[in-house]
Structure 1
Amino acid sequence: MPEQCNLTGGAIADEYLEALYNKVQDVYLADSRPWVLGYSGGKDSSATLQLVWSSLQRLPKTKLTKKIYVISSDTFVETPVIVNYINTTLDRINTSAREQNLPFEAHKVTPQSDNTFWVNLIGRGYPAPYSKFRWCTDRLKIEPANRFITEKITTHGEVVVVLGVRRAESSNRAGQMDKRTKVGEHLTRHSNLTNAWVFSPIEDWFTEEVWEYLLSVPSPWGNNNQELLAMYKNAQDGECPLVIDKSSPSCGNSRFGCWTCTVVAKDTSMSAMIDKGEKWLKPLLNFRDWLVTTQDPEGKKEIRDVRRRSGKIQYKEVDGDHKIIWGPYLLVFRQEILKRLLEAQKVIQKNGPNPNEQLISREELLKIRQLWLFEEGDWHDSLPQIYEQVTSKKLEVPKDDCSGLGGLEFQILQEVCAEHDLPVELLTQLFDAERRQHGMSRRSAINSDIDSILKKDWASREEALSKIGFHQS
């Protein structure tokens, strides 16, 4: 970390800035490896992109021979205000790059459709993320970015990943940066990806320098950096950078993080946006705050399954007492989450600037429906009913050729299982295993499916809870 800021009279010294431009140019011209620049829309990534852009503007066009891919992560649970800002900015980057004949190309990276926040939370019942189980980071941030980077490595052999990380952000950040293996004067090895190198051009900047640079040098792609400053005022001065490994902190409490983040106890940034006039965001904050309450240990027995997703019932001993290791949210609670989410969506569509604002997409709803049907035995097909109940609209769903089982069949199955003292979930899973294989010419997987189902723990919920001294009324 430098001993002092490179500021002179409230502005970055010209000679320092010129030297930095030269350094960026030297690294760019040193080889043929394309660059992948992580852009979140926040101050640090904006300063980094602006610095690289200004550096390349000073080079002869004949030397701009390799691409710079600007990637921005859309988790599908970003604050709507930020989504609009990022979308507009990416369009400006691509338009300005073409007009200025510069090698920038902006892309949005997203999680795979079966691995989004809502598909995992509502579909699979993953509990709201917390500090010891941040399942969202891998799926929403790391995997989409790494997938894009890996594609470029496959095409080009090697890439340089450009990040707007700074040592002055925190001692943890500085420590993580120091752990990277230095390669040459300016690059370090990527912590996870082979043939990827990391370049951090503003690693020694302080926050003051970032803002001085942004406010004294106009955005070369046409953004207004005063607007960016206004977005930070009266809010947590943080952003969610391109996440490349699990050492990155939670993005909760950030203008540029996920509005659903439950890793932090209180979202002061969202609260500040509401206090500054974005009242229509209140349903999102209320929903997030309610989701945080599901982490209360005392309430887990009401909303979580006794079986883990592996099918096993597991216990741990704490101070001589048996404690259950809770599984996913119960289906009935997932249905409640969906209902509340759709209600929040309905309110912001009415009161917000976009009457078509979506908090959850149709594709996600259909993925969740499939998980409920085939993993949870939701033969009543409750998702379309919940959707219509809240929105007063029908959800168009594909015809299930081999469904044939509904609420009446489920009621009969319950009666038969009760008569023979069998867990109804066991039978529904066996039926659904058959449904998945129905009509296939090769059915070799059916035996392993049946075997894995039979190996699950099929003790009743009451039996499992009695081991920890809890008896349902």
Structure 2
Amino acid sequence: MSFFETNSLKDVHASIQEVYLSDKRPWVVGYSGGKDSTCALQLVWNALALLPAERRQKPVYVISSDTLVETPIIVRYIDKNLENIQKKSDEQGMPFIVQKVSPRVERSFWVNLIGRGYPAPSNKFRWCTERLKIEPANDFITQRVAEFGEVVVVLGVRSAESATRAQVIAMHKIKGTKLARHSSLLNAFVFAPIEAFTTDDVWNYLLQNKSPWNNDNRELVTMYRNAQAGECPLVVDKTTPSCGNSRFGCWVCTVVQQDKSMEAMVESGEEWLEPLLEYRDLLSSTQNPEKKFIYREFKRRNGQVSFNHANGKLVPGPYKLDFRKELLGKLLEIQKQVQAEAPIGEAPVLIHPAELHEIRRLWRSESGDWADSVPQIVKNILGIDLDWEIEDSVLYNTQDFSLLDRICKEHELPTELMVKLIGVEKASHGLKRRHNIHSQLSKVLNEEWRDLKTILADHGSDQTIDDIIEIEDEESSFAEEVSSGQLDLLNNAGANP
């Protein structure tokens, strides 16, 4: 049943005004650019605009979460709206303050996937949501709590979205008020002004009421129609539904088997986005259980080997460094291509310089990349230098690695072991106190350094070397798939590296 069959728009405005005027707690409105968050923000704006200026003193922060891997068209749309929101707020003396929030560089998608080797996210290992969405929004809310004591978070969530969503909203409700307790943040409360709206209510309101910041809501309708999509909400806790099926959101999302929204955008005339779709399909293909060990190490990031308790199978670790180099190179090639083909003013930055610097640091410090590959890859593809920091503590190069590798083989020692031990020594070189070096050396020595055949035999695994280490023909087949763009779209659970 439509909300407006028993309620009027005047009732909604009065409800919003009542909550706004009831205390001195500032508001934080989540804005994702989709229909629900747009509806909620527009209602809040129009309700507050009816109040005398002297009663609109409490700040209303409008925050939009940019994961840094959002679909470029959506990024352009949101940025334009955020700019207009702030401009109109200033002109009309409204209390809105726009703020875009993003993950810290060390938590970004590319730093985790290419830098640390995390596998493409899946339903069973969805490492991206908390790092890219929850943490940035919650950090901002926590800062406002520290500044003001308490805050009210205004979200465009609706009970009609799902039975689970309705249950969560009801469970956190504060009796006798229009607020709910935030599920994870102390001193943060949630207000959902469109909680009882149906989807039709949302669209009817947007199409019948002009945007106060001069956005054309019909453009939003067109975007939904072209993308055949829902929206990714501003995620502030683990109860907020994450993206799934058809949706606006991250163009790299591999939690879904098929990115219907991106495909629909390409089919509707945005052909310049097609390389992004192919790259997403490449990431998705690495979830194929039969090919996981082509791309991933057999050891975890902590240097240990794990087996699945249910079936005794070896659990793969992070992406191999060589494959991460391929991923970085292809990503930069795609960035160069789409920036050349994108409409004027829409050329996206797919990976930021700060992320490249952090990936370089991780490869050098954690993966033994003595060749210092990142600057070379960037130079070869983009033809630029990024003022790379010269690290006094890392003085080795490709020739040094070749020499060390030859010596280690002569003495039947794992080269990676010696690289890590030398890394521990270099990290503590020059320090007055080196009391921690022994524990660091011990940690490296306690990693799994036996060969894979010995490990499998000791564990009694029914897997063989051939099961784990794919033959060269399969590697070549993969390379042909990548070059032709004919990649499998398999969505199998990936393991935590």
What does residue 360 of structure 1 align with?
Answer: 351
1:394 positional shift: 3.6
What does residue 107 of structure 1 align with?
Answer: 99
Task: Answer yes or no: is the 8 Å Cα contact 1:41–1:256 preserved in 2.
Answer: no
1:232 positional shift: 0.6
Equivalent of 1:273, from 242, 255, 265? 265
Q: 1:115 to 1:386 in 2, by over 3 A?
A: same
What does residue 234 of structure 2 align with?
Answer: 242
What does residue 292 of structure 2 align with?
Answer: 300
Equivalent of 1:6, from 3, 8, 14? 3
**Which whole-Å CA distance do the structure 2 matches of 1:423 and 1:234 have between them?**
54
Equivalent of 1:282, from 269, 274, 281? 274
What does residue 453 of structure 1 align with?
Answer: 444
Q: 1:355 to 1:223 in 2, by over 3 A?
A: closer
**Which whole-Å CA distance do the structure 2 matches of 1:262 and 1:237 have between them?**
16
SS class of match (2:423) = helix
SS class of match (1:295) = coil
Equivalent of 1:470, from 462, 465, 474? 465
What does residue 428 of structure 2 align with?
Answer: 437
SS class of match (2:465) = coil
Q: 1:53 to 1:72 in 2, by over 3 A?
A: same
CA deviations 1:55-103 (Å, max 9, x no partner) are: 1001111111211111000110001111111111111111111111111
**Which whole-Å CA distance do the structure 2 matches of 1:204 and 1:130 have between them?**
32
The alignment status of 1:54 with 2:51, answered yes or no, reads: no
Q: Unaligned regions of 5+ residues in structure 1, if any?
A: none
What does residue 343 of structure 1 align with?
Answer: 333
The alignment status of 1:167 with 2:159, answered yes or no, reads: yes
**Which whole-Å CA distance do the structure 2 matches of 1:157 and 1:19 have between them?**
30
Corresponding letter in the other structure for 2:35? K
CA deviations 1:100-123 (Å, max 9, x no partner) are: 111110100000011100000000
TM-score (norm. length: structure 1): 0.94
1:355 positional shift: 7.8
**Which whole-Å CA distance do the structure 2 matches of 1:56 and 1:22 have between them?**
10
What does residue 119 of structure 2 align with?
Answer: 127
SS class of match (1:37) = strand
CA deviations 1:195-237 (Å, max 9, x no partner) are: 1111001011011010110111111111111111111114334
**Which whole-Å CA distance do the structure 1 matches of 2:337 and 2:410 have between them?**
46
Number of positions where the alignment pairs a residue of Structure 1 with one of Structure 2: 463
**Which whole-Å CA distance do the structure 1 matches of 2:175 and 2:102 have between them?**
30
**Which whole-Å CA distance do the structure 2 matches of 1:462 and 1:40 have between them?**
50
Corresponding letter in the other structure for 2:62? V
SS class of match (1:410) = helix
The alignment status of 1:155 with 2:147, answered yes or no, reads: yes
**Which whole-Å CA distance do the structure 1 matches of 2:261 and 2:32 have between them?**
16
Corresponding letter in the other structure for 1:469? T
The alignment status of 1:397 with 2:381, answered yes or no, reads: no
Equivalent of 1:371, from 362, 367, 373? 362
Identify which range, 324-333 or 463-472, moves more after superposition.
Answer: 463-472
Instruction: Please give the root-mean-square deviation of Cα atoms over the aligned residues, in Å.
Output: 1.7
The alignment status of 1:210 with 2:205, answered yes or no, reads: no
Q: How does 1:401-412 map to 2 (within 5 A)?
A: 401-412=392-403
**Which whole-Å CA distance do the structure 2 matches of 1:113 and 1:384 have between them?**
18
Equivalent of 1:386, from 377, 382, 388? 377
**Which whole-Å CA distance do the structure 2 matches of 1:462 and 1:369 have between them?**
32
**Which whole-Å CA distance do the structure 2 matches of 1:256 and 1:355 have between them?**
17
What does residue 79 of structure 2 align with?
Answer: 87
Task: Answer yes or no: is the 8 Å Cα contact 1:71–1:106 preserved in 2.
Answer: yes
Q: 1:358 to 1:462 in 2, by over 3 A?
A: farther
Identify which range, 389-398 or 17-26, moves more after superposition.
Answer: 389-398
**Which whole-Å CA distance do the structure 2 matches of 1:290 and 1:120 have between them?**
17
1:415 positional shift: 1.4
Identify which range, 143-152 or 402-411, moves more after superposition.
Answer: 402-411
Task: Answer yes or no: is the 8 Å Cα contact 2:67–2:103 preserved in 1.
Answer: yes
SS class of match (2:255) = coil
What does residue 224 of structure 1 align with?
Answer: 216
**Which whole-Å CA distance do the structure 2 matches of 1:236 and 1:28 have between them?**
35
What does residue 490 of structure 2 align with?
Answer: none
1:183 positional shift: 4.5
Q: 1:179 to 1:460 in 2, by over 3 A?
A: farther
What does residue 323 of structure 1 align with?
Answer: 313
SS class of match (1:298) = coil
Equivalent of 2:56, from 40, 47, 64? 64
Equivalent of 2:408, from 409, 417, 420? 417
CA deviations 1:124-146 (Å, max 9, x no partner) are: 00000000111000100000000
Identify which range, 414-423 or 433-442, moves more after superposition.
Answer: 433-442
